[in-house]
Amino acid sequence: TNDPTHVKLNRLMLESAQIERLFFGEVYMRTLEWDSTAKRLKMIDQRVLPSKLELISLDTYQSVYQSIKDMAVRGAPAIGVAAAFGIVLAAQQSQAGDVDMLRADLNQAAEVLGASRPTAVNLPWALKRMLGVAGHTYSSTADLRAALLDEAQRMADEDVALNRSMAAYGAELINDGDTIIHHCNTGALATVDWGTALGVIRMAHEQGKHIHVLVDETRPRLQGARLTAWELSQYGIPYDIISDNAAGYFLHTGQVNKVFYGGDRVARNGDVANKIGSYMLALAANANNVPVYSVVPTSTIDMELASGDEIPIEERDQDEVLNIQFQNQPATPKGASARNPAFDVTPHELISGIVTEKGVIYPPFEIHLAKIMQES
């Protein structure tokens, strides 16, 4: 019963003209948003981008669990905030007659939501924060429900503000004329809005710097080719998609100035877990003296872990690797098997700087991370 994978997601299909206005135009929409009229969580379905821009509307915490697991919503900060709204929905669903019973239902929902994906620490971080709010004293279940919605909304708003602050610090690292390799998707879609590493690039672009982005396609789920390229087109930032295995070539031939990516969990020594392929990219960048920056909010930093060795790495279904086509035919033999780790760890020695909302952190990370985390 704790695995609600059978829940169907409600789908709202929108006309594409209407959608462009909705997402990036005057009528503006975040990657995920609370619909206060319908009392539901609305989100962009990232599985069908860029060919379709569809919203899904979720009214149970079980459907939020499923949207995270299936990656309708993905990206460390976005899944954290989605889970926070999952708790709001759990409170709404609960039939509990008093505050203590409601708390028990919330704890159970938090367990389910927390099991959706293991690597990004933003997910347990957000759930812990919501349960912390639930732990305060309330005179009625209605008061507790209202406090949970306030907290989730606050987290969503904070995420956007933090991203802008990281972007401002990070943009100082980018020079006019830079060519940047970017891995996975770290833009508005990976967060509530604006983005982490891609937010830095976007900020530099808005400052008038001319930037060219080499977009790692990011096998197997193609977050780069599908999502980052789509976002860059919206922002008018020039880019070329490259296959992941071309990054070494561009680095070795002197065509790249910087590497930027996000992070799903940073250990206290500065080791960074991020989308699979980040490690190889960092190795190639270091071998060619190109700096590597990871851009993360402090909610992605896990001071409980001494090193990246302790970070749980998600392994996803082998079909994500196997189900590819070549000339409209299956590209892999029937019955082939695959391995599909979704993340890897870049050892801190390969990272030049970690950009946070508190500023850019340089080595020795162990000391500098402890300092900023104490302040927060």
Kindly state the smallest distance separating residue 125's Cβ from ligand MRU, in Å: 13
Kindly state the smallest distance separating residue 79's Cβ from ligand MRU, in Å: 7
Q: In sequence order, what are the beta bridge partners of 56? A: 11, 43
Sites for ligand MRU among residues 214-233 (CB under 6 A): 223
Strand order in the sheet with 258-261: 239-242, 212-216, 179-182, 258-261, 292-295, 353-356, 359-361
Kindly state the smallest distance separating residue 329's Cβ from ligand MRU, in Å: 27
**Cα 159 vs. chain centroid, distance in angstroms?**
11
Options 70-78, 92-100, 231-239, 361-369: segment touching ligand MRU (CB under 6 A): 70-78
Choice among 264, 271, 302, 344 that is catalytic: 264
Q: In this chain, which of 31, 141, 196, 228 binds ligand MRU, going by CB under 6 A?
A: 196
Identify which of residues 42 and 219 has a Cβ nearer to ligand MRU in the complex.
Answer: 219
Binding mask 334-373 for ligand MRU (x = CB under 6 A): --------x-------------------------------
225 three-class SS: helix
- In the bound state, the residue with its beta carbon closest to ligand MRU is 262
Sequence-distant (6+) residues with CB within 8 A of 79 are: 68, 73, 116, 117, 120, 122, 123
Rule CB under 6 A: is residue 74 a binding residue for ligand MRU? Answer: yes
Mark whether 178 is an active-site residue: no
Rule CB under 6 A: is residue 190 a binding residue for ligand MRU? Answer: yes
Asked if residue 288 belongs to a known ligand binding site, the reply is: no
Determine how β-strand 353-356 pairs with β-strand 292-295.
Answer: parallel
Which one, of 323, 224, 353, lies nearest residue 277 by Cα? 224
* b/e per residue 60-80 (b: at least 16 CB within 10 A): bbbbbbbbbbebbbbbbbbbb
Q: What angle do CA 165, 24, 205 make, to 5 degrees?
A: 50
* b/e per residue 199-218 (b: at least 16 CB within 10 A): bbbbbbbeeeeebebbbbbb
Measured distance CA(81)–CA(88) in Å, rounded: 11
Identify which of residues 121 and 148 has a Cβ nearer to ligand MRU in the complex.
Answer: 121
Asked if residue 75 belongs to a known ligand binding site, the reply is: yes
Asked if residue 275 belongs to a known ligand binding site, the reply is: yes
Identify which of residues 102 and 224 has a Cβ nearer to ligand MRU in the complex.
Answer: 224
Residues carrying an active site annotation: 264
Binding site feature residues: 74-76, 117, 223, 274-275
Enumerate binding residues for ligand MRU (CB under 6 A): 74-77, 120, 184, 186, 190-191, 196, 223, 261-264, 274-275, 342
